[in-house]
Amino acid sequence: MLAQSFLFNLDAQLLFDTILLVVAVFVLMLIMSNMLFNPARKLLKDRQDKINSDIKNALDDKECAAALKAEYESKLKEIDKEAEAILSEARQKALKNEAKIVEDAKAEASRIIKRAQEEALLEKKHAMDDMKQEMIAIASLMAEKVVAASIDTTIQDTLVEETLKEMGDSTWQS
What is the DSSP track for 54-66? Answer: HHHHHHHHHHHHH
Supply the pLDDT for residue 61.
95
Domain coordinates in residue numbering, the chain: 2-173
Rounded Cα gap, residues 140 and 136, in angstroms = 6
**pTM value surpassing 0.85:** no
Mean pLDDT of 7-29: 87
Asked if residue 137 lies in contact with residue 163, where contact means CB atoms within 8 angstroms, the answer is: no
Kindly state the helix (H) or strand (E) to which residue 34 belongs, with its residue range: none
pLDDT of residue 3: 45
Task: For residue range 76-128, list pLDDT tens digits in order.
Answer: 999 999 999 999 999 999 999 999 999 999 999 999 999 999 999 999 999 98
